[in-house]
């Protein structure tokens, strides 16, 4: 647990300034034009057209720009997006990220049967299982922390989040700084993943 908390602090210091500088140069209008093709999966307003496709509206620009560049550079394999970002420059990534960050985030509903466990994990974690509170990085309201590229989770697609947590748990996805999410997800049961994903779906 102490190692995870130290990783959080290191991440905040290491990438905050760089992301702030890049975001300052972003052009959301140019990003809107560049993102036109993205609507086929992520919707006209940045809301995924199916549970497997993530909502991008309202996402932290620093996080989204990093994901775009990681997918482009092969650091985060996403078969559905193969070749779609090949012509993106870093500036394109920041422009598109800034555009989506300015859209209104999605709103959803949590499963009443999973709310109690989901709330517990999100707000307080589970010390016995070595799971820190999700709110520590993603904030109590699920907005995320832009200066450290921690993503917004509020209203996100439940199925997408469960798939993402499982990918981190198995190491299939490994583009998280200092392996923070891999360590956390590896301690979570399938039920815990479902509960947290459901809770943040309804968090707004």
The CATH number of the domain holding residue 89 is: 1.10.760.10
| Residue 8 lies inside a defined structural domain of this protein | no
134 lies in a domain? Answer: yes
Q: Read off the pLDDT band of 14 (50, 70, 90).
A: very low
| 110-154: pLDDT as tens digits | 999 999 999 999 999 999 999 999 999 999 999 999 999 999 999
Any domain includes 97: yes
Residues 69 and 122 in one domain: no
In this prediction, residue 197 carries a pLDDT of: 98
User: Both 195 and 119 in a single domain?
Assistant: yes
End of a domain among 49, 76, 101? 101
**Residue 59 and residue 34 share a domain:** yes
Query: Predicted confidence band at 10 (pLDDT cuts at 50, 70, 90)?
Result: very low
Q: Quick one: DSSP state of residue 46? A: S
Q: Decide which of 37, 69, 101 is a domain's last residue.
A: 101
User: 57: domain range?
Assistant: 17-101
Cα–Cα distances in Å, from 189 out to 17, 62, 134, 162, 185? Answer: 35, 29, 15, 11, 8
21-25, 77-81, 188-192, 196-200: range with lowest mean pLDDT: 21-25
Q: Do 70 and 137 have their domain in common?
A: no
Q: Does 158 reside within a domain?
A: yes
- pLDDT of res. 2: 53
Domains: count for the chain:
2
Residues 160 and 90 both lie in one domain = no
């Amino acid at each position: 647990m102490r190692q995870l908390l130290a990783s959080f602090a290191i991440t905040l210091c290491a990438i905050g300034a760089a992301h702030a500088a890049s975001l300052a140069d972003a052009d959301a209008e140019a990003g809107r034009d560049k993102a036109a093709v993205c609507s086929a999966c992520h919707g006209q307003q940045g809301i995924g057209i199916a549970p497997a496709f993530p909502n991008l509206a309202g996402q932290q620009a620093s996080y989204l720009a990093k994901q775009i560049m990681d997918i482009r550079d092969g650091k985060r394999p996403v078969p559905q997006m193969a070749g779609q970002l090949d012509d993106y420059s870093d500036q394109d990534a920041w422009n598109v990220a800034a555009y989506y960050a300015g859209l209104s985030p999605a709103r959803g509903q949590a499963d009443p049967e999973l709310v109690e466990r989901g709330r517990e994990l999100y707000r307080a974690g589970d010390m016995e299982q070595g799971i820190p509170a999700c709110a520590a990085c993603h904030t109590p309201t699920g907005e995320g922390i832009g200066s450290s590229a921690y993503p917004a989770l509020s209203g996100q697609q439940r199925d997408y989040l469960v798939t993402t947590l499982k990918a981190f748990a198995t190491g299939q996805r490994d583009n998280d700084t200092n392996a923070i999410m891999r360590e956390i997800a590896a301690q979570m049961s399938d039920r815990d993943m479902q509960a947290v994903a459901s809770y943040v779906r309804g968090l707004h």
